[in-house]
Amino acid sequence: MAGIYLHIPFCKQACHYCNFHFSTSVKYKEEIVAAMLRELELQKDYLRGEAIETIYFGGGTPSLLNQRDLDLFFNKLISNFSISNFKSLEITLEANPDDLNFQKIKELKSTPINRLSIGVQSFFEKDLKFMNRAHNASEAEACIKIAQDNGFENLTIDLIYGSPATPDINWIKNIEKAIDFNIPHLSCYCLTVEEKTALAHFVKTGKTKPVDEEQAARQFNILINKLNANNYEHYEISNFAKKGFYSKHNSSYWQGKKYLGVGPSAHSFNGTSRQWNIANNAKYMQALKENKLNKELEILTPEQQYNEYVMTALRTMWGIDFLKIKNMGRGDYFIKNIKTYMEQGLVFEKNGNYTLTDKGKFLADGIAAGLFL
Ligand code: SF4
């Protein structure tokens, strides 16, 4: 089973914290779509005929695609990959609230898309302004209602905590609102100040306070407690789901399944190597005009495969499977290093699986780094 990721590299405006690849000009949207369709043809054998389980339109802002664009993608996908019909697949489209009016939702519902990932981030105007989001607080609520009323049951929203603009009381209300809407899946990220973003510049020049680690840790704990009490499973550091609503696409990344990434900056993985397209729309399109891919490739060494497995598995509720580590020939090394974290109450072991405790969850990256080869 494998997945396909399609990166739509356009946004209406740049969110201050974002370091993804996108352009704020949609002038070349049709040309990019044409180039991506060409890439799908060129890469049709990358997954070696494995059955496709998930398709994910990410970005950027995939809700800027119109029905014609989506039809072109679906026709190309079914004619080049191992897909018997779209019904049995999880097909997600990331969408921004300002795009999701009644008309747009109806349009999306008429396509094979069966899961929406909505970039809400917050239900508060002050937060949204701080982040420079293109939508406002009322659009954040309205789009969820429209999506649910029109049969999109499988919904996920993104929320951001730890922002200087988000006091605890607003963070609590954000979580409560998501629970009240009965949204079955939530992705909640701590605000991070990435290099070369507007936010990094504001922090550097003193216009914005840096992220307060204590506040972030407190809000993460509030999140875990509130969602646990409301029947959400904390199945990955940043992801919470009601039973049956795990993201199959993201779970396959964490389980080391193969995937093909299409579009500028998109990454692909075939089990032993990783490759990524150039993060530049013009250069990406130019190469495809010549039926070529402008990409880089990295063959993963056994050490890198071990490190990747440790990093991704540790972040999930299923944890690190010791048998897999042993089969990689790293059993002794792992046991020697995990001991410290177990003594500190950051990791626990059950039936041969090593999993983070709630205390350990906030330190996941540091713990993984301590286990690396
Ligand atoms: S809409 Fe998403 S991809 Fe676009 S700038 Fe904002 S966070 Fe980044």
Instruction: Judge whether residue 303 has pLDDT over 90.
Output: yes
Q: Which atom of ligand 1 is nearest to the CA of 132?
A: 6
Are the C-beta atoms of residues 257 and 249 closer than 8 Å to each other?
no
> Measured between alpha carbons, how far is 98 from 113 in angstroms, rounded to an integer?
19
> Measured between alpha carbons, how far is 314 from 325 in angstroms, rounded to an integer?
12
H or E element in which residue 152 lies: none
> Measured between alpha carbons, how far is 216 from 294 in angstroms, rounded to an integer?
39
- Can you tell me the mean pLDDT for 7-16? 97
For residues 187-213, one letter each, b for 16 or more C-beta atoms within 10 angstroms of the residue's C-beta and e for the rest, the string is bbebbebeeebbbbebbeeeebeebee
Residue with tokens 């018997």: 84
- Can you tell me the mean pLDDT for 285-294? 97
Residue 99 C-alpha to ligand 1 middle, in angstroms? Answer: 13
Residue 348 C-alpha to ligand 1 middle, in angstroms? Answer: 36
Phi, psi of 311 (to 5 degrees): -65, -45
Q: How far is CA 154 from CA 60, 120, 165, 182, in A?
A: 21, 15, 30, 11
* Pocket (CB within 6 angstroms of ligand 1): 11, 14-15, 18, 20, 22, 59-61, 96, 119
> Measured between alpha carbons, how far is 318 from 284 in angstroms, rounded to an integer?
38
Residue 272 C-alpha to ligand 1 middle, in angstroms? Answer: 30
- Can you tell me the mean pLDDT for 260-277? 96
Q: For residue range 86-122, what is the model confidence (pLDDT) as tens digits? A: 999 999 999 999 999 999 999 999 999 999 999 999 9
CA-closest residue to ligand 1 atom 6: 15
CA-closest residue to ligand 1 atom 3: 60
- Can you tell me the mean pLDDT for 48-77? 97
CA-closest residue to ligand 1 atom 2: 60
Residue 190 C-alpha to ligand 1 middle, in angstroms? Answer: 15
pLDDT of residue 128: 98
Determine what percent of the chain is predicted with pLDDT higher than 90: 98
**Average pLDDT value for the chain:** 96
pLDDT of residue 18: 97
**At 353, is the pLDDT very low, low, confident or very high (cuts 50, 70, 90)?**
very high
Residue type, 203: V
User: Could you tell me which of 229, 237, 227, 241 has the C-alpha nearest to residue 156?
Assistant: 241
CA angle at residue 261 from 294 to 312, to 5 degrees? Answer: 120
Residue type, 347: V
**At 271, is the pLDDT very low, low, confident or very high (cuts 50, 70, 90)?**
confident
Give the global pTM.
Answer: 0.95
**At 349, is the pLDDT very low, low, confident or very high (cuts 50, 70, 90)?**
very high
| Token reading at 373 | 């080869």
Domains and CATH numbers, the chain: 2-254 (3.80.30.20), 302-371 (1.10.10.920)
Determine what percent of the chain is predicted with pLDDT higher than 70: 100
Half-sphere exposure of 254 (CA within 13 A, CB side): 22
CA-closest residue to ligand 1 atom 8: 18
Peptide bond into 352 cis (omega under 30): no
Residue type, 240: F
**At 14, is the pLDDT very low, low, confident or very high (cuts 50, 70, 90)?**
very high
Residue 124 C-alpha to ligand 1 middle, in angstroms? Answer: 18
Residue 15 C-alpha to ligand 1 middle, in angstroms? Answer: 6
Q: What is the DSSP string of 195-229?
A: TTSHHHHHHHTTSSPPP-HHHHHHHHHHHHHHHHT
